[in-house]
Structure 1
Amino acid sequence: MSVRFVGTYTPKLDDKGRLTLPAKFRDAVAGGVVVTRGQDRSLSVYRNEEFDVLAENTMAASRNDPEARAYQRYYFASADEQRPDGQGRVTLSAGHRDYAELSKECVVIGAFDHLEIWDAQRWREYQSEHEENFSAAGSAALDALL
C-alpha cells in the first residue's frame, strides 16, 4: 500500500449529493474509488486496488456459511464505483446518504487503508461514546509495548 489515509476533514455535502474528498488524497483516488456502507452508519471509501483485495478476502469466506453469504450480498450490493471529478468530488447515492444519515455537514476521516464519511453530528457522538474505550485501549497497547 502506497497511500496512508490519515487525518480529519470537514467537507460539506452539496445539494446534488456530491462530497469533495480531501485535496491531499486527490492523486491517490483519481483512478477511481468504491463507496460502500461502512460500520456504525458511516460510508467507506476504498481505492479500487484496496477494494479488490478486500473483496478477495471477503469472497474467501465459505460459501457454505449462510452468514458469510449474507454479509457478501449486503456489502457488495451497497458498493458504488465512482471516479472523482476534476474537483475531487464523488456523488453519494441517495441510499448511501440515507444509510449514513448525512446532513450538509460531514466529516471525512482517514482510516489508514480507506476513508470514512460520517455525518458531523454522528461523528461527534461516536467520539464521545468511545473516548473512554480509546483511552483504555491506548493504555493497554502501551503496556504491551513496554
Structure 2
Amino acid sequence: MRSNKSISLVAAACLAVVIGSAAGFNTARSEALTTSKPPLATGITNSGAAEAQVTEATRKGDILTIKIRFAPLVPDKMESIYAQITEKDYENSFYVLAGDKKYLLLRDSQDTPLASPQLSIRNTKDSPVSGTWYGRFPAPPKDITEVSLTIHGVETIDSIPIADR
C-alpha cells in the first residue's frame, strides 16, 4: 500500500512540475514577443492604428527579403491594409528604393508577387503583434547598405539597413 501511495505522490508532484513548466513557458513566450530586439526601421499604417516595424532586411545572393511585424497603437481595431496586390499596386505601391533605382517585388513561376498576398491587422489589448508582412525583391548591389520600402497602406519606411548572409 505504501508504495502505491508513494507512486501517487510522485505522480502528483510530476504533474505539478509539468503544469508549472507549461505556465512558465507561456509567460516566457509572451515576454519574448514583447522584448524582442528593436526594429531596424519603422513606419505607421495609413490609419495610424499600428506601427510597421522592420524586423529583417536580408540580402542573400540576388534576393533581398524584408519582414515586418505590426505593433498595435490603437486597441481593439481590425483593418485591412490591402485585400490583394493588383497589377497597378504592384507597379506603384510595392517596391524598394536603393540609391536611385526602384526594385519591384519578385514574382514566382505563376507570375504571383513574392509577398504577403493580403494584409489585415487585428489590434487586441494584450497582443504585442497585430500582424506580419514579408516581401522578396531583387537585391541591390553590395555597395548599397540601406533601402527605403514602400508597401500599400503604410507610409514609406526609410533607412532600412541591409544584412548580408
Q: Which has the larger radius of gyration?
A: 2
TM-score, with normalisation over the residues of structure 2? 0.30
Structure number with the bigger relative contact order (C-alpha 8 A, sep ≥ 6) is 1
Structure with the higher fraction of residues in strand conformation: 2
